[in-house]
Amino acid sequence: MKFYLASRNKGKMRELTEILTPLGMELEPLPEDFPEIEENGTTFAENAKIKAQTVCDALGAPAIADDSGLEVEALNGEPGVHSVRWAGPGLTDHDRNVLLLERMRSVPETERGAKFVCVAACVFPSGKALTVRGECRGTILDEERGTGGFGYDPIFCVPEYSCTFGELEPEVKNSISHRARAFTALGSALRAYLEATGEE
C-alpha cells in the first residue's frame, strides 16, 4: 500500500523507506510544490497528526508523518518538541550540536541522560488516525563523533553499543532508533487495521 510521507527530509525518507519496505509499505514523497506545513502543536503527537492530516486532506490519500526530537534530562527536557527550531533559525545540524554541547559543558557524566522520542501518525481519507510512540535512551557526549545520520545523532551515545547514532551502521541504527521503534509499531498497527477493514 502507498502512503505519502509528510516530510521533505531526505535522511528521514531514506531511513523510513528502509524500515517500512520490508513491511510491504511504499512511501511516496511530497509533490515538489506542496506548501510548508505549520507545526504549531505543543507535543510530538499533535505535530505528527497535524502533518499527516494536512497531507491527507490535500492529496486525498493516506499520509504518514512523524515528529521527533531529543529530550535531555539536564536541560529539563529541551530541546524536545522544538528540537529543530530550538537554537534559532538558519542553523545547521552542527551548529545546533555545538550549542547543546556548550549548554552541557558543566554537566557531569552521570547526569547526561537523554532520550530520542518519535511519535508516528497515519491518517486515512476516511478520517481514521493511528498514532504510536517510540523511544531510545542514551547519553550526551562532550563532542561530536561520527558522520552518519543527521540532527543530534553525532552527540547521542547508545550505551549498549558504546557509540553514537552517527557512528552506527545504518542497518543497526534503523533497528534500535526511536524512529525505528515507532514506525515498526505503526507498521504492526497498520497491518492490523488493514486486515480488519479490508482496505488496500
Asked if the peptide bond before residue 35 counts as cis, ω within 30 degrees of 0, the response is: no
- Which of 57, 67, 93, 95 is flagged as catalytic? 67
Cell of 137: 535512551
Cell of 90: 538558519
Query: For residues 193 and 177, what is the distance between their CA atoms, to the nearest angstrom?
Result: 24
Beta bridge partners of 71: 79, 115
Question: From residue 131, how far is each of 38, 180, 185, 189 by CA, in Å?
Answer: 19, 14, 9, 9
Are 193 and 130 spatial neighbours (Cβ–Cβ below 8 Å)? yes
Q: Is 66 a catalytic residue?
A: no
- Residues, the chain: 200
Which residues are identified as catalytic?
67
